[in-house]
C-alpha cells in the first residue's frame, strides 16, 4: 500500500504545485460548456426537426424540408461523433477557410449531433401529447406552428425531461473524445498530470470519480426538476 | 350564416358524408342527432374545417372556407368549438387557457399593423398622394389587460373566479367543460359548435353544463350541437337534424321531429333512445 500512497503524493504534487489544477479546471469548464451548449443547440434543432416531421405534408415545402431533416438525422446518427469532429475540424473548416478554436468546433458538432438524437426524442414526446390539445388550439384560430409551440411542445418537453436528462449525461461522457481535435477536456488535463512522471493510476481514478460525481449530480438535479414540474400539475 | 353545399367527406374509401346541403341561419340552434357512426362529429368538424371536406362548399360569412386557399385560422376565430373531452390546455392555468388565443391574436394583429405602418411611412416618401397610416389605439399591455378582464368576467359568470390560477388537472369534468365553453366565448364567436359536450361527464355534472349552454343559447348565439340528450334537444333546439349513414334524412323543428317522425329509421332510433 505504501507505493499507492506514494502515487497519491506524486499526483498531489503535480496537481497542486505544477498547475495541474489549472488544467483540470479548464478541462472541466470545457466539458461542461460543450455538453450544456451542445444540449441547448440540440434541443432547438431537435424541436424544429420534430415539428417539421409531424407537420402535415399536403404542400411541397414541408415535404422538402422533411427530406432534408431525414438526411441530416441519418448522417449524424450514422457516424461516430469522433468522425464528425475530425471531419468538421480537418475537412469542413479548411474548405470554408475559417479558423475556429477547437472548443467552439466541438460545441457546434456536439450541438448538431445532439440535435439528431433530440429530434427522435422530441418526436416521441410530441406524439405522446393528446391530439385534442392541438385541435383545441387550431379550433381557436391559432396556426399549426403557434399551437405546437405554445401548447404541444411544452407538454412534450415535460414528458421527455428524463430522456433529455439522459441525453445530457451521455453528452458529458462523450465529450471525452474532444482531445482528438486538440480541445482540452478532463482527459487531456489528467493525462498531462500523469505524463509528468508517467504515473497514470491515480490521475485516471480521480478523473473517473469526477465523471461519476458530475453524472450523479445531474441525475439528482433532473429528479428534483421532474418533481417540481409535477407539482405544477397539482397546485391549487 | 353557414351555407353547406354538396358536402362530401371520405376517409380513404369510406364515404362518411354524402352530399349534404343545409343552411343554418343566424340565431338558430340546430341539434344533430343520430346513431353512432352516422357522421355527426365529422359533419360538425367539417363546418370549421377541422376535417377538410373531400368536396363541396362551406360558405361562412360569404366566404367558402372549404377552399384550401383561404386562411382558415381567421375564420375559425369566429366559430367556437367545444369538444367531448374538453381539451383544456394542460400546461396552462385556467385564466391562461381563456386568454391565450385572444392575447396571441391581439398581439399579432398589433405587430402586423405596426409593420405595415413602417412600410407605408417608407413608401410615402416616394408617393405624391400620401397613404394614411393605420390608427393604433392600443398597446401590448392594454391587449393583455383587456383579455384578462374579459376572462375574469366570464369566470365570474360561471362562478369559478377562484379557480383562475389553478391547472385544469385539479378541476372536475363539469368545471372543465364550462371553462372550455367560456374559453370559446372569449373569442366573441358568431357561432358555437358543440360535439357531445356532456357525453364524457359524470351524470351529476351534466346539468350544470347544459344550463350554461342553454344560457348562451338564450342570449341569441347561433349553435350547432351534436347531442345524445334528447330532452335538451327538445328544450333548446329550434331545429333538429337526424343523421343516418352520412345523410341528414330529417330536418324539422323539435315538436315535429319528435312528435311526428316521418322516416322509419328515425322512429326506430327514437324508440331506442327514448325508452
Ligand atoms: N379520422 C378518421 N379516419 C378514418 N375514419 C374516420 C375518422 N373519423 C371518423 N371516421 C369514421 O367515420 C364514420 C363516422 O364517424 P363520426 O365520428 O362522424 O360518427 P358519429 O356520428 O359522430 O358517431 P358517435 O356518435 O359514435 O360519435 C365512422 O365510421 C368512423 O369510424
Ligand atoms: Mg361523434
pLDDT digits (tens, 9 = 90+) for B6-18: 999 999 999 999 9
B184/B162 Cα distance (integer angstroms) = 20
Q: Kindly provide the b/e burial profile for residues B119-151, where b requires at least 16 CB atoms within 10 angstroms of the residue's own CB.
A: eeeeeeeeeeeeeeeeeeeeeeeebeeebbebb
Q: B interface mutation test: which of A140, A149, A154 has the most B CBs within 10 A?
A: A140
- Kindly list the structural domains of chain A, giving each domain's residue range(s) and its CATH number in brackets, ordered by start: 2-235 (1.10.3720.10)
By CB atoms closer than 10 A (0-12, 13-18, 19+), residue A156 is: buried
For chain A, 236 residues long, the average pLDDT of each consecutive 10-residue run is 76 78 89 94 93 84 92 95 94 92 94 95 92 96 93 90 89 91 89 84 90 92 81 52
Residue with cell 427530406: A67
Strands (E), chain B: 2-11, 14-24, 29-33, 55-60, 63-64, 79-82, 191-195, 222-226, 239-244, 247-252
Chain A hits for B167, Cβ within 8 Å: 232-235
Report the residue from B87, B104, B180 with minimal CB separation from A133: B87
- CA-based nearest residue to B86, from B212, B179, B222: B179
Minimal-distance CA residue of chain B relative to A144? B73
What parts of chain B have a pLDDT lower than 50?
none
Kindly list the protein residues whose Cβ atom lies closer than 6 A to any atom of ligand 1: B 11, 14, 16, 34, 36-42
What pLDDT, on the 0 to 100 scale, is given for residue A235? Answer: 45
**Cα dihedral value B205, B207, B208, B212, nearest 10:** 140
Size of the A and B interface in Cβ pairs below 8 Å: 75
pLDDT at A57: 79
CB contact burial B56-94 (16+ within 10 A = b; e otherwise)? bbbbbeeeebbeeeeebbebbbbbbbbbbbbbbbbbbbb
Q: Is there a contact between B140 and B107 (Cβ–Cβ < 8 Å)?
A: yes
At residue A16, the pLDDT reads 79
Q: What is the CA(B40)–ligand 1 centre distance, in A?
A: 8
**Predicted local confidence at residue A231, as pLDDT:** 60
pLDDT given at position A2: 64
DSSP β-ladder status, B63-64 and B79-82: unpaired
CA atoms in the 13 A half-sphere facing the CB of A28: 16
Contact (CB<8Å) B85/A132: yes
Tell me, in angstroms, the distance from the centre of ligand 2 to residue B201's CA. 15
Residue of the CA atom closest to atom 26 of ligand 1: B36
Beta-carbon separation of B89 and A151 below 8 A: yes
pTM (2 d.p.): 0.83
B160 touches chain A (CB under 8 A): no
pLDDT at A236: 41
CB contacts, 8 Å: A150 with chain B: 100, 104
**Angstrom distance (rounded) from CA A162 to CA A223:** 8
Partners of A138 on chain B (C-beta within 8 Å) are 50, 73, 76
What backbone phi and psi angles, to 5 degrees, belong to B20? -90, 130
Interchain pair B170, A143: CB under 8 A: no
Amino acid at each position: 500500500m505504501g507505493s499507492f500512497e506514494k502515487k497519491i503524493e506524486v499526483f498531489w504534487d503535480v496537481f497542486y504545485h505544477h498547475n495541474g489544477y489549472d488544467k483540470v479546471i479548464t478541462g472541466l469548464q470545457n466539458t461542461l460548456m460543450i455538453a450544456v451548449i451542445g444540449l441547448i443547440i440540440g434541443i432547438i434543432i431537435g424541436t424544429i426537426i420534430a415539428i417539421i416531421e409531424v407537420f402535415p405534408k399536403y404542400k411541397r415545402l414541408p415535404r422538402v424540408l422533411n427530406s432534408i431533416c431525414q438526411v441530416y438525422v441519418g448522417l449524424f446518427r450514422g457516424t461516430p461523433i469522433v468522425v464528425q469532429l475530425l471531419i468538421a475540424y480537418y475537412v469542413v473548416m479548411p474548405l470554408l477557410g475559417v479558423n475556429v478554436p477547437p472548443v467552439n468546433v466541438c460545441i457546434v458538432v456536439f450541438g448538431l449531433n445532439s440535435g439528431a438524437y433530440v429530434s427522435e426524442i422530441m418526436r416521441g414526446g410530441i406524439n405522446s401529447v393528446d391530439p385534442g390539445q392541438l385541435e383545441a388550439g387550431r379550433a381557436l384560430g391559432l396556426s399549426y406552428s403557434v399551437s405546437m409551440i405554445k401548447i404541444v411542445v411544452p407538454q412534450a418537453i415535460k414528458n421527455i425531461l428524463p430522456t433529455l436528462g439522459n441525453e445530457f449525461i451521455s453528452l458529458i461522457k462523450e465529450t471525452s473524445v474532444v482531445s482528438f481535435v486538440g480541445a482540452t477536456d478532463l482527459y487531456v488535463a489528467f493525462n498531462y498530470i500523469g505524463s509528468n512522471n508517467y504515473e497514470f493510476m491515480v490521475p485516471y481514478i480521480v478523473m473517473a470519480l469526477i465523471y461519476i460525481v458530475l453524472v450523479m449530480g445531474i441525475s439528482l438535479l433532473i429528479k428534483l426538476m421532474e418533481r417540481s414540474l409535477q407539482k405544477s400539475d397539482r397546485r391549487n | 350564416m353557414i351555407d353547406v353545399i354538396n358536402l362530401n367527406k371520405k376517409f380513404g374509401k369510406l364515404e362518411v358524408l354524402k352530399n349534404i346541403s343545409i343552411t343554418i341561419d343566424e340565431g338558430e340552434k340546430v341539434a344533430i342527432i343520430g346513431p353512432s357512426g352516422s357522421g355527426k362529429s365529422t359533419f360538425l368538424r367539417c363546418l370549421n374545417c377541422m376535417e377538410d371536406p373531400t368536396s363541396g362548399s362551406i360558405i361562412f360569412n360569404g366566404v367558402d372556407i372549404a377552399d384550401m386557399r383561404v386562411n382558415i385560422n381567421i375564420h375559425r376565430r369566429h366559430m367556437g368549438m367545444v369538444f367531448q373531452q374538453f381539451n383544456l390546455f394542460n400546461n396552462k392555468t385556467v385564466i391562461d387557457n381563456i386568454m391565450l388565443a385572444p392575447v396571441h391574436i391581439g398581439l399579432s394583429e398589433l405587430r402586423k399593423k405596426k409593420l405595415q405602418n413602417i412600410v407605408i411611412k417608407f413608401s410615402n416618401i416616394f408617393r405624391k398622394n400620401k397613404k394614411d397610416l393605420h390608427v393604433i389605439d392600443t398597446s401590448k399591455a392594454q391587449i393583455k389587460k383587456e383579455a384578462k378582464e374579459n376572462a375574469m368576467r366570464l369566470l365570474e359568470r360561471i362562478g369559478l373566479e377562484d379557480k383562475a390560477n389553478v391547472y385544469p388537472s385539479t378541476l372536475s369534468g363539469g368545471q372543465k367543460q364550462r371553462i372550455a365553453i367560456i374559453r370559446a366565448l372569449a373569442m366573441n364567436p358568431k357561432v358555437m359548435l358543440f360535439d357531445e359536450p356532456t357525453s364524457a361527464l359524470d351524470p351529476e355534472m351534466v346539468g350544470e353544463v347544459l344550463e350554461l349552454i342553454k344560457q348562451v343559447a338564450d342570449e341569441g348565439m347561433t349553435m350547432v350541437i351534436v347531442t345524445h340528450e334528447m330532452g335538451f334537444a327538445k328544450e333548446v333546439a329550434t331545429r333538429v337534424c337526424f343523421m343516418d349513414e352520412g345523410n341528414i334524412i330529417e330536418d324539422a323543428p323539435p315538436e315535429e321531429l319528435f312528435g311526428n317522425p316521418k322516416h322509419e329509421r328515425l322512429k326506430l332510433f327514437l324508440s331506442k333512445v327514448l325508452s
